[in-house]
């Protein structure tokens, strides 16, 4: 196994911080623009930055529809639906830390269903880890429902985020396994993902929210942060880490999301962290371990 050097450690710290700042950053921006409108401005910024970047390096090109539509699908699911569900849950009163806890199921669900792409069957051990992970999410939700006005249905909204990004991840991996498919460079792919997300957000942002926005300095800073450091910076760090320490180990970093987000939300918004939240997090980590660790190889080595 390759030793983790200082650069890799810096990438891990940067990725965990920037990625999870997206939850509290989005919540911070909600008083100034509702979910669809906030996401529209965010991905307008992402698309504009990527377009300028690609043009400056003379790497921009219009893709054929056959090449572009998969990028649109991935962008709409992994960015648009994923973030919309998370934002709606926060808007309806679900704490940002709990949203992060629920969406942290994504590595387990992606790993469990990856056999659909690779042809390798999901083992009983992996399914056990998946079930335990779901229990870890369900436990704090059940205890938070007592005495709270937020309904169970509202707490289930972030599961839409998990479903969307899982489908997007599996779809992207399926394309990677198909040798007949011509790959698209990461920077160009991100531009088309942002463009697809931007296009589908125009309708709901106009119809349901009328693009109503309070252009305060706080909102401009928030959108700039979300566009540059989260949607671009954290995304690039993730791919740089995958090149260094493998996709499986990078996926496990998502489980640092709940405690980091809970700490940020506590500092910025005064969100309370309850004992059941921490217990649920511990159960999820156990589920992750069962899903990722090869018990047979361990027993063989013994």
What's the length of the chain?
302
Question: Cα–Cα distance between 21 and 18 in angstroms, integer?
Answer: 5
Q: Are 182 and 107 in contact (CB under 8 A)?
A: no
Tokens of 111: 């790993």
Computed over every residue of the chain, the mean pLDDT equals: 83
What pTM was computed for the model? 0.81
Tokens of 54: 């690609």
Q: Taking the CB of residue 45, how many other CB atoms lie within 10 A of it?
A: 19
Domain layout of the chain by residue ranges: 6-294
Tokens of 67: 């090449």
Q: Are 250 and 238 in contact (CB under 8 A)?
A: yes
What is the average per-residue pLDDT within 228-241? 86
Above pLDDT 90, what percent of the chain?
Answer: 38
- Over residues 75-122, the pLDDT tens digits come to 999 899 999 999 999 898 888 878 888 887 777 787 777 777 766 666
Looking at residue 251, its pLDDT comes to 67
At 33 the three-state DSSP class reads strand
Helices of type H across the chain: 6-29, 35-56, 65-75, 82-91, 96-103, 106-113, 115-118, 124-145, 152-156, 158-177, 186-209, 217-225, 235-245, 247-252, 257-269, 275-292, 295-301
Question: Cα–Cα distance between 173 and 42 in angstroms, integer?
Answer: 26
């Amino acid at each position: 196994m390759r030793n983790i050097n200082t650069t890799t450690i810096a990438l891990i710290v940067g990725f965990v911080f920037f990625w999870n700042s997206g939850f509290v950053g989005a919540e911070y921006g909600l008083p100034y623009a509702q979910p669809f409108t906030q996401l529209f401005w965010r991905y307008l910024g992402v698309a504009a930055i990527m377009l300028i970047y690609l043009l400056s390096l003379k790497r921009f090109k219009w893709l054929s529809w056959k090449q572009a539509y998969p990028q649109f699908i991935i962008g709409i699911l992994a960015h648009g639906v994923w973030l919309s569900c998370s934002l709606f849950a926060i808007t309806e009163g679900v704490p940002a830390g709990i949203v992060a806890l629920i969406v942290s199921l994504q590595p387990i669900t992606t790993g469990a269903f990856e056999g659909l792409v690779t042809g390798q069957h999901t083992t009983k051990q992996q399914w056990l880890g998946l079930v335990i992970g779901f229990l870890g999410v369900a436990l704090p939700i059940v205890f938070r429902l007592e005495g709270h006005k937020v309904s169970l249905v509202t707490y289930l909204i972030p599961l839409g985020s998990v479903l969307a990004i899982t489908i997007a991840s599996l779809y992207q991996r399926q394309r990677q396994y198909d040798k007949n498919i011509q790959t698209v460079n990461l920077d160009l792919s991100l531009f088309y993902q942002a463009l697809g997300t931007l296009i589908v957000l125009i309708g709901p942002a106009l119809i349901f929210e009328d693009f109503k926005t309070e252009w305060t300095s706080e909102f401009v800073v928030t959108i700039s942060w979300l566009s540059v450091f989260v949607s671009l910076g954290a995304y690039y760090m993730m791919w740089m880490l995958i090149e260094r320490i493998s996709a499986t180990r990078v996926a496990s970093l998502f489980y640092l999301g709940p405690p980091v987000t809970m700490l940020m939300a506590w500092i910025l918004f005064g969100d309370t962290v309850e004992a059941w939240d921490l217990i649920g997090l511990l159960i999820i980590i156990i589920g992750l371990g069962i899903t990722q660790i090869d018990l047979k190889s361990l027993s063989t080595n013994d």
